Protein backbone atom coordinates (compact mmCIF):
# COMPACT_ATOMS: atom_id res chain seq x y z
CA UNK A 1 0.00 0.00 0.00
CA UNK A 2 1.38 3.41 -1.05
CA UNK A 3 1.22 5.72 1.99
CA UNK A 4 1.32 8.75 -0.30
CA UNK A 5 -2.14 7.82 -1.61
CA UNK A 6 -3.61 6.45 1.63
CA UNK A 7 -5.76 8.20 4.25
CA UNK A 8 -6.69 7.04 7.73
CA UNK A 9 -10.17 8.08 8.84
CA UNK A 10 -11.81 8.33 12.29
CA UNK A 11 -15.52 9.23 12.36
CA UNK A 12 -17.12 10.23 15.67
CA UNK A 13 -20.47 11.67 16.69
CA UNK A 14 -24.05 11.50 15.47
CA UNK A 15 -25.52 10.28 12.15
CA UNK A 16 -25.26 13.83 10.76
CA UNK A 17 -21.49 13.68 11.30
CA UNK A 18 -21.48 10.21 9.75
CA UNK A 19 -23.01 11.64 6.58
CA UNK A 20 -20.26 14.29 6.49
CA UNK A 21 -17.69 11.48 6.80
CA UNK A 22 -19.31 9.58 3.93
CA UNK A 23 -19.12 12.67 1.70
CA UNK A 24 -15.43 13.15 2.47
CA UNK A 25 -14.64 9.48 1.88
CA UNK A 26 -16.52 9.57 -1.42
CA UNK A 27 -14.44 12.55 -2.60
CA UNK A 28 -11.24 10.85 -1.46
CA UNK A 29 -12.08 7.67 -3.38
CA UNK A 30 -13.09 9.67 -6.45
CA UNK A 31 -9.66 11.30 -6.48
CA UNK A 32 -7.83 7.99 -6.20
CA UNK A 33 -6.97 7.93 -2.51
CA UNK A 34 -7.22 4.65 -0.61
CA UNK A 35 -8.39 4.13 2.97
CA UNK A 36 -5.90 2.79 5.52
CA UNK A 37 -6.77 0.10 8.05
CA UNK A 38 -4.09 1.18 10.54
CA UNK A 39 -2.45 4.45 11.52
CA UNK A 40 0.90 3.11 10.34
CA UNK A 41 -0.40 2.48 6.80
CA UNK A 42 -1.71 6.05 6.37
CA UNK A 43 0.00 9.03 4.83
CA UNK A 44 -2.16 11.19 7.09
CA UNK A 45 -5.25 10.80 9.29
CA UNK A 46 -8.55 12.72 9.22
CA UNK A 47 -10.51 12.87 12.49
CA UNK A 48 -14.17 13.93 12.23
CA UNK A 49 -15.01 15.19 15.72
CA UNK A 50 -18.06 15.74 17.91
CA UNK A 51 -18.37 18.49 20.51
CA UNK A 52 -22.00 18.30 21.59
CA UNK A 53 -21.39 17.35 25.25
CA UNK A 54 -18.33 17.06 27.46
CA UNK A 55 -18.03 13.29 27.02
CA UNK A 56 -18.10 13.63 23.22
CA UNK A 57 -15.51 16.42 23.37
CA UNK A 58 -13.22 14.31 25.53
CA UNK A 59 -13.56 11.34 23.15
CA UNK A 60 -12.68 13.58 20.18
CA UNK A 61 -9.62 15.07 21.89
CA UNK A 62 -8.45 11.57 22.84
CA UNK A 63 -8.87 10.39 19.24
CA UNK A 64 -6.83 13.34 17.95
CA UNK A 65 -4.09 12.66 20.52
CA UNK A 66 -3.96 8.99 19.53
CA UNK A 67 -3.78 9.81 15.82
CA UNK A 68 -0.95 12.30 16.45
CA UNK A 69 0.97 9.78 18.53
CA UNK A 70 0.49 6.87 16.11
CA UNK A 71 0.79 8.75 12.82
CA UNK A 72 1.84 12.36 13.39
CA UNK A 73 -0.03 13.94 10.44
CA UNK A 74 -3.60 14.79 11.41
CA UNK A 75 -6.38 16.90 9.86
CA UNK A 76 -9.32 17.70 12.16
CA UNK A 77 -12.86 18.43 11.00
CA UNK A 78 -16.37 18.34 12.51
CA UNK A 79 -18.23 20.15 15.28
CA UNK A 80 -15.33 20.41 17.72
CA UNK A 81 -13.24 21.93 14.95
CA UNK A 82 -15.55 24.95 14.98
CA UNK A 83 -15.14 25.58 18.70
CA UNK A 84 -13.26 28.69 19.83
CA UNK A 85 -11.73 29.56 23.18
CA UNK A 86 -12.92 32.65 25.04
CA UNK A 87 -10.25 34.79 23.39
CA UNK A 88 -11.43 33.70 19.92
CA UNK A 89 -8.47 31.41 19.30
CA UNK A 90 -8.81 27.90 17.90
CA UNK A 91 -9.78 25.42 20.63
CA UNK A 92 -8.24 22.38 18.93
CA UNK A 93 -4.93 24.05 18.07
CA UNK A 94 -4.52 25.31 21.63
CA UNK A 95 -4.68 21.72 22.91
CA UNK A 96 -3.06 19.96 19.95
CA UNK A 97 -0.84 22.51 18.16
CA UNK A 98 0.70 19.83 15.93
CA UNK A 99 -2.46 19.18 13.91
CA UNK A 100 -2.02 20.08 10.24
CA UNK A 101 -5.40 21.74 9.68
CA UNK A 102 -8.71 22.34 11.44
CA UNK A 103 -12.16 22.85 9.86
CA UNK A 104 -15.72 22.85 11.16
CA UNK A 105 -18.63 20.58 10.18
CA UNK A 106 -20.03 20.15 6.65
CA UNK A 107 -16.69 21.29 5.20
CA UNK A 108 -15.90 18.73 2.50
CA UNK A 109 -14.13 21.20 0.18
CA UNK A 110 -12.00 22.63 2.99
CA UNK A 111 -10.97 19.13 4.12
CA UNK A 112 -10.03 18.16 0.56
CA UNK A 113 -7.99 21.36 0.18
CA UNK A 114 -6.06 20.42 3.32
CA UNK A 115 -5.51 16.87 2.08
CA UNK A 116 -4.15 18.21 -1.22
CA UNK A 117 -1.70 20.45 0.63
CA UNK A 118 -0.18 17.63 2.67
CA UNK A 119 -0.81 14.59 0.46
CA UNK A 120 -1.03 15.62 -3.22
CA UNK A 121 -3.67 13.65 -5.03
CA UNK A 122 -2.81 10.82 -7.41
CA UNK A 123 -2.44 11.72 -11.07
CA UNK A 124 -5.56 9.90 -12.25
CA UNK A 125 -8.92 9.91 -10.44
CA UNK A 126 -10.56 6.51 -10.19
CA UNK A 127 -14.14 7.62 -10.71
CA UNK A 128 -15.12 4.16 -11.96
CA UNK A 129 -14.42 2.78 -8.48
CA UNK A 130 -17.15 4.94 -6.93
CA UNK A 131 -20.58 3.34 -6.60
CA UNK A 132 -23.45 5.67 -7.62
CA UNK A 133 -24.54 6.10 -4.01
CA UNK A 134 -21.04 7.11 -2.88
CA UNK A 135 -19.02 5.59 -0.04
CA UNK A 136 -21.20 4.53 2.91
CA UNK A 137 -20.21 3.69 6.48
CA UNK A 138 -23.51 1.93 7.23
CA UNK A 139 -24.48 -1.62 6.21
CA UNK A 140 -25.57 -1.88 2.57
CA UNK A 141 -29.28 -2.19 3.36
CA UNK A 142 -29.78 1.09 5.22
CA UNK A 143 -28.43 4.62 4.89
CA UNK A 144 -28.83 8.10 6.34
CA UNK A 145 -30.24 10.93 4.21
CA UNK A 146 -29.29 14.36 5.53
CA UNK A 147 -31.70 17.05 4.32
CA UNK A 148 -30.30 20.18 5.96
CA UNK A 149 -27.43 21.58 7.98
CA UNK A 150 -27.51 23.66 11.15
CA UNK A 151 -30.34 24.73 13.44
CA UNK A 152 -32.13 28.03 14.06
CA UNK A 153 -33.32 27.09 17.56
CA UNK A 154 -31.32 28.41 20.47
CA UNK A 155 -32.04 25.93 23.25
CA UNK A 156 -30.11 27.00 26.33
CA UNK A 157 -28.47 23.58 26.84
CA UNK A 158 -27.17 23.31 23.27
CA UNK A 159 -24.32 24.87 21.26
CA UNK A 160 -25.12 23.23 17.91
CA UNK A 161 -26.09 26.56 16.25
CA UNK A 162 -22.67 27.92 17.31
CA UNK A 163 -20.92 24.87 15.83
CA UNK A 164 -23.01 24.21 12.71
CA UNK A 165 -24.71 27.56 12.11
CA UNK A 166 -28.36 28.36 11.42
CA UNK A 167 -30.65 26.12 9.38
CA UNK A 168 -29.67 25.66 5.72
CA UNK A 169 -32.03 23.36 3.81
CA UNK A 170 -30.59 21.34 0.93
CA UNK A 171 -32.36 21.74 -2.46
CA UNK A 172 -35.29 19.34 -2.56
CA UNK A 173 -34.43 18.09 -6.05
CA UNK A 174 -30.95 17.06 -4.93
CA UNK A 175 -32.31 15.42 -1.78
CA UNK A 176 -34.79 13.33 -3.78
CA UNK A 177 -32.13 12.47 -6.39
CA UNK A 178 -29.88 11.17 -3.62
CA UNK A 179 -32.77 9.21 -2.10
CA UNK A 180 -33.56 7.51 -5.39
CA UNK A 181 -29.88 6.73 -5.97
CA UNK A 182 -29.70 5.06 -2.57
CA UNK A 183 -32.87 3.03 -3.14
CA UNK A 184 -31.67 2.00 -6.61
CA UNK A 185 -28.39 0.78 -5.06
CA UNK A 186 -30.27 -1.65 -2.82
CA UNK A 187 -30.89 0.42 0.31
CA UNK A 188 -34.04 -0.86 2.03
CA UNK A 189 -34.30 1.70 4.80
CA UNK A 190 -33.61 5.41 4.48
CA UNK A 191 -33.23 7.31 7.74
CA UNK A 192 -33.99 11.01 7.25
CA UNK A 193 -31.86 13.19 9.53
CA UNK A 194 -30.98 16.82 10.24
CA UNK A 195 -30.80 18.99 13.33
CA UNK A 196 -34.46 19.97 12.84
CA UNK A 197 -36.19 17.86 10.21
CA UNK A 198 -39.62 19.44 10.74
CA UNK A 199 -38.24 22.89 9.86
CA UNK A 200 -37.00 21.76 6.44
CA UNK A 201 -37.47 24.61 3.96
CA UNK A 202 -38.25 27.28 6.56
CA UNK A 203 -35.04 29.16 5.74
CA UNK A 204 -35.96 29.26 2.02
CA UNK A 205 -39.57 30.27 2.73
CA UNK A 206 -40.54 26.88 1.33
CA UNK A 207 -39.21 27.71 -2.12
CA UNK A 208 -40.58 25.66 -5.02
CA UNK A 209 -38.01 23.31 -6.49
CA UNK A 210 -38.18 20.72 -9.26
CA UNK A 211 -37.78 16.99 -9.32
CA UNK A 212 -38.60 14.62 -12.15
CA UNK A 213 -39.77 17.57 -14.23
CA UNK A 214 -42.42 18.55 -11.68
CA UNK A 215 -42.57 21.39 -9.13
CA UNK A 216 -42.31 20.40 -5.47
CA UNK A 217 -42.10 22.69 -2.45
CA UNK A 218 -39.11 22.66 -0.13
CA UNK A 219 -41.27 21.59 2.80
CA UNK A 220 -41.10 18.55 5.06
CA UNK A 221 -44.65 17.45 4.18
CA UNK A 222 -44.03 17.48 0.42
CA UNK A 223 -40.61 15.88 0.93
CA UNK A 224 -42.13 13.12 3.05
CA UNK A 225 -44.83 12.45 0.47
CA UNK A 226 -42.26 12.18 -2.34
CA UNK A 227 -40.01 9.91 -0.27
CA UNK A 228 -42.99 7.69 0.51
CA UNK A 229 -43.71 7.23 -3.21
CA UNK A 230 -40.07 6.35 -3.84
CA UNK A 231 -40.03 3.89 -0.97
CA UNK A 232 -43.15 2.12 -2.25
CA UNK A 233 -41.59 1.94 -5.72
CA UNK A 234 -38.52 0.17 -4.35
CA UNK A 235 -40.33 -1.81 -1.62
CA UNK A 236 -38.37 0.04 1.06
CA UNK A 237 -38.81 2.04 4.25
CA UNK A 238 -38.36 5.72 5.15
CA UNK A 239 -37.88 6.62 8.81
CA UNK A 240 -38.08 10.21 10.13
CA UNK A 241 -35.73 11.45 12.85
CA UNK A 242 -35.35 14.68 14.85
CA UNK A 243 -38.89 16.00 14.37
CA UNK A 244 -39.82 18.97 16.57
CA UNK A 245 -43.51 18.89 17.55
CA UNK A 246 -44.63 21.63 15.16
CA UNK A 247 -48.37 21.81 14.37
CA UNK A 248 -47.75 20.93 10.70
CA UNK A 249 -46.31 17.55 11.70
CA UNK A 250 -49.96 16.45 11.89
CA UNK A 251 -49.98 16.60 8.08
CA UNK A 252 -47.26 13.92 7.91
CA UNK A 253 -49.21 11.29 9.85
CA UNK A 254 -51.71 10.45 7.05
CA UNK A 255 -48.74 9.89 4.71
CA UNK A 256 -47.57 7.14 7.07
CA UNK A 257 -50.87 5.35 6.57
CA UNK A 258 -50.15 5.18 2.81
CA UNK A 259 -47.06 3.01 3.33
CA UNK A 260 -43.39 3.60 2.54
CA UNK A 261 -42.95 6.16 5.32
CA UNK A 262 -42.88 4.22 8.57
CA UNK A 263 -45.34 5.03 11.37
CA UNK A 264 -42.46 6.28 13.52
CA UNK A 265 -41.64 9.74 14.84
CA UNK A 266 -38.45 10.67 16.67
CA UNK A 267 -39.53 13.76 18.66
CA UNK A 268 -37.05 15.28 21.17
CA UNK A 269 -39.48 16.60 23.81
CA UNK A 270 -36.63 17.00 26.40
CA UNK A 271 -39.04 17.72 29.29
CA UNK A 272 -42.72 18.20 30.11
CA UNK A 273 -42.93 20.85 32.83
CA UNK A 274 -43.68 24.27 31.29
CA UNK A 275 -41.23 26.13 33.56
CA UNK A 276 -38.35 23.77 32.72
CA UNK A 277 -39.17 24.00 29.01
CA UNK A 278 -39.19 27.80 29.32
CA UNK A 279 -35.71 27.76 30.88
CA UNK A 280 -34.61 25.44 28.08
CA UNK A 281 -36.15 27.83 25.51
CA UNK A 282 -38.17 24.92 24.17
CA UNK A 283 -41.68 25.27 22.73
CA UNK A 284 -44.95 23.92 24.12
CA UNK A 285 -45.61 22.07 27.39
CA UNK A 286 -46.47 18.59 28.65
CA UNK A 287 -50.19 19.18 28.20
CA UNK A 288 -49.75 20.18 24.56
CA UNK A 289 -47.39 17.26 24.01
CA UNK A 290 -50.03 14.89 25.36
CA UNK A 291 -52.65 16.36 23.05
CA UNK A 292 -50.33 15.88 20.07
CA UNK A 293 -49.44 12.31 21.00
CA UNK A 294 -53.10 11.37 21.47
CA UNK A 295 -53.97 13.00 18.15
CA UNK A 296 -51.15 11.19 16.31
CA UNK A 297 -52.18 7.84 17.77
CA UNK A 298 -55.78 8.43 16.78
CA UNK A 299 -54.69 9.28 13.22
CA UNK A 300 -52.28 6.32 13.03
CA UNK A 301 -52.87 3.62 15.67
CA UNK A 302 -49.63 1.79 14.80
CA UNK A 303 -47.40 4.85 15.28
CA UNK A 304 -44.24 4.49 17.38
CA UNK A 305 -43.05 7.59 19.22
CA UNK A 306 -39.43 7.89 20.28
CA UNK A 307 -38.16 10.77 22.38
CA UNK A 308 -35.30 12.02 24.52
CA UNK A 309 -35.42 13.76 27.90
CA UNK A 310 -33.01 15.57 30.20
CA UNK A 311 -33.03 15.21 33.98
CA UNK A 312 -31.46 17.64 36.44
CA UNK A 313 -31.64 20.70 34.21
CA UNK A 314 -30.64 23.82 36.18
CA UNK A 315 -33.45 24.80 38.52
CA UNK A 316 -35.34 21.50 38.15
CA UNK A 317 -37.17 20.86 41.43
CA UNK A 318 -38.37 17.49 42.67
CA UNK A 319 -41.89 18.68 41.94
CA UNK A 320 -40.98 19.51 38.33
CA UNK A 321 -39.29 16.15 37.92
CA UNK A 322 -42.35 14.38 39.33
CA UNK A 323 -44.43 16.29 36.78
CA UNK A 324 -42.24 14.74 34.07
CA UNK A 325 -42.77 11.25 35.51
CA UNK A 326 -46.54 11.80 35.59
CA UNK A 327 -46.40 12.95 31.98
CA UNK A 328 -44.59 9.76 30.95
CA UNK A 329 -47.11 7.58 32.79
CA UNK A 330 -49.84 9.13 30.69
CA UNK A 331 -47.96 9.57 27.39
CA UNK A 332 -46.53 6.03 27.39
CA UNK A 333 -43.70 6.91 25.02
CA UNK A 334 -42.71 3.79 23.05
CA UNK A 335 -38.95 4.36 22.84
CA UNK A 336 -37.09 6.71 25.15
CA UNK A 337 -33.57 7.91 25.83
CA UNK A 338 -32.68 9.99 28.89
CA UNK A 339 -29.55 11.91 29.78
CA UNK A 340 -28.57 13.69 32.99
CA UNK A 341 -27.94 17.36 32.26
CA UNK A 342 -24.35 17.89 31.14
CA UNK A 343 -22.94 21.43 31.28
CA UNK A 344 -21.45 22.26 27.89
CA UNK A 345 -18.95 25.09 27.68
CA UNK A 346 -20.61 28.05 25.99
CA UNK A 347 -24.19 26.92 26.64
CA UNK A 348 -26.42 29.65 28.19
CA UNK A 349 -27.93 27.12 30.62
CA UNK A 350 -24.67 27.11 32.57
CA UNK A 351 -25.48 30.60 33.84
CA UNK A 352 -28.94 29.65 35.12
CA UNK A 353 -29.42 29.54 38.89
CA UNK A 354 -30.25 26.37 40.78
CA UNK A 355 -27.60 23.96 39.52
CA UNK A 356 -28.64 20.40 40.36
CA UNK A 357 -25.90 18.23 41.95
CA UNK A 358 -24.51 15.55 39.67
CA UNK A 359 -25.65 12.67 41.89
CA UNK A 360 -29.23 14.03 41.87
CA UNK A 361 -29.20 14.39 38.07
CA UNK A 362 -28.09 10.77 37.71
CA UNK A 363 -30.51 9.48 40.38
CA UNK A 364 -33.42 11.14 38.58
CA UNK A 365 -32.29 9.66 35.26
CA UNK A 366 -32.25 6.20 36.86
CA UNK A 367 -35.76 6.67 38.28
CA UNK A 368 -37.07 7.83 34.93
CA UNK A 369 -35.52 4.92 33.05
CA UNK A 370 -36.94 2.44 35.55
CA UNK A 371 -40.40 3.87 34.91
CA UNK A 372 -39.80 3.73 31.17
CA UNK A 373 -38.68 0.11 31.39
CA UNK A 374 -42.06 -0.77 32.93
CA UNK A 375 -43.89 1.21 30.24
CA UNK A 376 -41.87 -0.35 27.43
CA UNK A 377 -42.38 -3.86 28.82
CA UNK A 378 -46.14 -3.32 28.93
CA UNK A 379 -46.28 -1.96 25.37
CA UNK A 380 -44.11 -4.71 23.91
CA UNK A 381 -46.20 -7.40 25.62
CA UNK A 382 -49.07 -6.11 23.49
CA UNK A 383 -47.20 -7.22 20.36
CA UNK A 384 -47.12 -10.89 21.33
CA UNK A 385 -49.23 -12.87 18.88
CA UNK A 386 -49.02 -10.25 16.14
CA UNK A 387 -47.15 -10.70 12.88
CA UNK A 388 -44.70 -7.91 12.09
CA UNK A 389 -42.72 -7.05 9.01
CA UNK A 390 -39.05 -7.17 9.95
CA UNK A 391 -35.96 -5.95 8.11
CA UNK A 392 -33.10 -8.41 8.67
CA UNK A 393 -29.87 -6.79 9.88
CA UNK A 394 -27.80 -9.87 10.67
CA UNK A 395 -27.81 -13.61 10.05
CA UNK A 396 -27.38 -15.49 13.34
CA UNK A 397 -27.42 -19.13 14.38
CA UNK A 398 -30.91 -20.50 13.92
CA UNK A 399 -32.31 -17.39 12.27
CA UNK A 400 -31.68 -13.66 12.19
CA UNK A 401 -31.70 -10.41 14.10
CA UNK A 402 -33.63 -7.52 12.61
CA UNK A 403 -35.92 -4.61 13.28
CA UNK A 404 -39.60 -3.80 12.94
CA UNK A 405 -41.09 -0.45 11.95
CA UNK A 406 -40.78 0.50 15.64
CA UNK A 407 -36.99 0.06 15.77
CA UNK A 408 -34.36 2.42 14.42
CA UNK A 409 -30.86 0.95 14.07
CA UNK A 410 -28.51 1.15 17.06
CA UNK A 411 -30.89 3.13 19.31
CA UNK A 412 -34.03 0.99 19.61
CA UNK A 413 -34.82 -2.68 20.10
CA UNK A 414 -34.11 -5.82 18.12
CA UNK A 415 -36.40 -8.55 16.80
CA UNK A 416 -34.82 -12.00 17.08
CA UNK A 417 -36.18 -14.26 14.34
CA UNK A 418 -36.30 -18.03 14.72
CA UNK A 419 -36.49 -20.21 11.62
CA UNK A 420 -38.99 -23.10 11.55
CA UNK A 421 -37.59 -26.61 11.91
CA UNK A 422 -36.30 -27.98 8.64
CA UNK A 423 -35.77 -24.58 7.03
CA UNK A 424 -32.27 -24.47 5.51
CA UNK A 425 -32.31 -21.15 3.71
CA UNK A 426 -30.48 -18.34 5.47
CA UNK A 427 -32.26 -15.09 6.30
CA UNK A 428 -30.02 -12.41 4.79
CA UNK A 429 -29.36 -8.77 5.71
CA UNK A 430 -31.61 -6.42 3.75
CA UNK A 431 -34.39 -9.00 3.43
CA UNK A 432 -37.92 -8.28 4.64
CA UNK A 433 -39.55 -11.17 6.52
CA UNK A 434 -42.81 -11.70 8.37
CA UNK A 435 -42.40 -12.69 12.01
CA UNK A 436 -45.05 -13.84 14.49
CA UNK A 437 -44.04 -12.48 17.90
CA UNK A 438 -43.85 -15.10 20.65
CA UNK A 439 -42.10 -13.28 23.51
CA UNK A 440 -40.93 -9.83 24.60
CA UNK A 441 -39.02 -8.07 27.35
CA UNK A 442 -38.65 -4.33 27.97
CA UNK A 443 -36.47 -3.81 24.90
CA UNK A 444 -36.55 -6.67 22.37
CA UNK A 445 -38.91 -9.12 20.69
CA UNK A 446 -38.58 -12.82 19.80
CA UNK A 447 -40.60 -14.50 17.08
CA UNK A 448 -40.99 -17.18 14.42
CA UNK A 449 -40.39 -16.60 10.72
CA UNK A 450 -43.62 -16.92 8.72
CA UNK A 451 -43.37 -17.73 5.00
CA UNK A 452 -45.09 -15.12 2.85
CA UNK A 453 -47.92 -17.41 1.75
CA UNK A 454 -48.94 -18.25 5.34
CA UNK A 455 -48.88 -14.81 6.93
CA UNK A 456 -52.01 -13.48 8.60
CA UNK A 457 -52.31 -10.15 10.39
CA UNK A 458 -49.30 -7.98 9.53
CA UNK A 459 -48.40 -4.83 11.41
CA UNK A 460 -46.11 -2.32 9.71
CA UNK A 461 -46.33 -3.96 6.27
CA UNK A 462 -45.81 -1.52 3.42
CA UNK A 463 -48.70 -1.31 0.98
pLDDT in tens, 265-312: 999 999 999 999 999 998 767 778 999 999 999 999 999 999 999 999
Model confidence at 206: pLDDT above 50: yes
Give the pLDDT confidence score for residue 138 in this predicted structure: 66
Instruction: Look at residue 38 and tell me whether its pLDDT is greater than 50.
Output: yes
Contacts of 451 (CB under 8 A, 6+ apart): 434
Distance CA 337, CA 365 (A): 10
Known binding residues are: 14, 50, 79, 151, 155, 158
- Note the pLDDT of residue 131: 57
Report pLDDT digits (tens) over 212-229: 778 889 999 999 999 999
Angular region, 73: left φ>0, alpha ψ -120 to 50, beta rest: beta
| Pairing mode of beta strands 399-403, 445-450 | unpaired
Residue 462: what pLDDT?
35
pLDDT at residue 97 greater than cutoff 80: yes
Q: Residue 434: enclosing H or E segment and its boundaries?
A: strand 432-440
Is pLDDT at 128 greater than 80 in this prediction?
no
Q: pLDDT tens-digit profile of 387-427?
A: 999 999 999 999 999 999 999 998 999 999 999 988 889 99
* pLDDT at residue 31 in the model: 84
Instruction: Count how many residues are written for the chain.
Output: 463
Chain-centroid distance of CA 435 in Å reads 26
Show the domains of the chain with their CATH numbers: 3-118 (3.40.50.12160), 142-382 (3.80.30.20), 386-450 (2.40.50.140)
Confidence class of residue 46 from pLDDT cuts 50, 70 and 90? very high
329's CB contacts (< 8 A; 6+ apart) are 371, 375
What average pLDDT does range 79-108 have in this prediction? 88
Mean of pLDDT over the chain: 89
Of the two residues 22 and 453, the one the predictor is more confident about is 22
**Which residue ranges make up the annotated binding site for [4Fe-4S] cluster?**
14, 50, 79, 151, 155, 158
Tens-place pLDDT, residues 424-448: 899 999 999 999 999 999 999 999 9
Q: What is the pLDDT of residue 461?
A: 41
Confidence of residue 17 (pLDDT cuts 50, 70, 90): confident
Q: What is the spatial distance between Cα 255 and Cα 389, in angstroms, rounded to a whole number?
A: 18
d(CA 282, CA 274): 9
| Alpha-carbon span 145 to 171, nearest angstrom | 13
Residue 267 backbone dihedrals phi, psi, to 5 degrees: -120, 110
Contact 348, 158 (CB under 8 A): no
Please give the angle made by the CA atoms of 223, 236 and 29, to the nearest 5 degrees: 80
Q: Is the pLDDT of residue 170 over 80?
A: yes
Instruction: State residue 346's pLDDT score.
Output: 82
Amino acid sequence: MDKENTIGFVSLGCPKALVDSEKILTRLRAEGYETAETYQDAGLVIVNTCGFIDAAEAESLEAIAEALEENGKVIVTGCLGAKKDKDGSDFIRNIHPKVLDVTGPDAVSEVMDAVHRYLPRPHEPFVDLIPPQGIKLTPKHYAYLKISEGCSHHCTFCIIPDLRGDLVSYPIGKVLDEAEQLFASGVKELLVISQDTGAYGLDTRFRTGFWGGRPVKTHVTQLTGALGKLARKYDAWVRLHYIYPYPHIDDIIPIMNEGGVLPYLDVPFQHAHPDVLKRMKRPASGERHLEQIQRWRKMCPDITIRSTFITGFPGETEEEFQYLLDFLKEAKIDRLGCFPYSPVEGAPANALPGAVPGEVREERRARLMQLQEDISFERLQGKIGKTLRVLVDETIRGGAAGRSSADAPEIDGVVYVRKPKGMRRKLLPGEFVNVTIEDADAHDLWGLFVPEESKNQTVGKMK
